[in-house]
Every structure is written in C-alpha cells, then in structure tokens.
Amino acid sequence: MSYRQTAEYLRTIEHELKRLQLWSDTHPSAVALASTAPFACDTLPFEHWLQFIFLPKMQVLVEQQLPLPTEIAIAPMAHYVWAQRPVMRDLINVLEMLDELLSGK
C-alpha cells in the first residue's frame, strides 16, 4: 500500500474542495453522518460526504498505517453528481487516480 501517495491524494481532494468553495465550516448533524446509504446520499451532498466522512476515515487509516480499502469506486459517483459541471474535472481526476491506486488498476 502506498500510504504516502494516498495521503497526497487526500490533501489534493481537500485542496480542490476548498478551491471550488465546496468546503464547509458547518459540521453536519450526527444524524446526517450516521446515514447507512452509500455516500450518505440521503442526508449529505456528495462534497460533504467527502469532507466529513471519507477524508477523516482515510486520514486515520493512513496515519495509523492500517489496511487501506482495496476495492474503491468514488469517481463514478463524482461523475454522476457533477456530470453537468466541467469545473469539477480536476477533483474528479484526483478521485479517479485514488480509485486506481487503491484498487491496484
């Protein structure tokens, strides 16, 4: 597993969310974060799932050098959610690269 490369992609995702002004200073409710739906799609916008669920969980795995997921597919959801927003292309590209790194493709 490439913890260093994964950490770099996580930082880039955070940077892109901030650059695109999708980073939120308001933390979602505990109920919203407790969603069991894929990507918490029933309670959070996708960018909030990235910020408040995905990034923190992945950062813990990297920092503690715990096993990283080996089957991951975040980019398809990003394509679906942001299909009509070309400005999101750089963020989607980073998500694709992270998917490929962790899935070994």
Q: Using a CB cutoff of 8 Å and minimum separation of 24, what contacts does 56-60 make? A: 58/6, 58/10, 59/7, 59/10
User: Residues 29-87: pLDDT tens digits?
Assistant: 999 999 999 999 999 999 999 999 999 999 999 999 999 999 899 999 999 999 999 99
CATH of the domain at 64: 1.20.1440.40
Q: pTM for this structure?
A: 0.94
**Residue written as token pair 């992945």:** 58
Residue 45's H or E segment, with its range, is none
Which pLDDT belongs to residue 43? 97
The 3-state DSSP composition of the chain as helix, strand, coil percent (nearest 5) reads 65, 0, 35
Q: How many separate domains does the chain show? A: 1
Residue 62's H or E segment, with its range, is helix 55-63
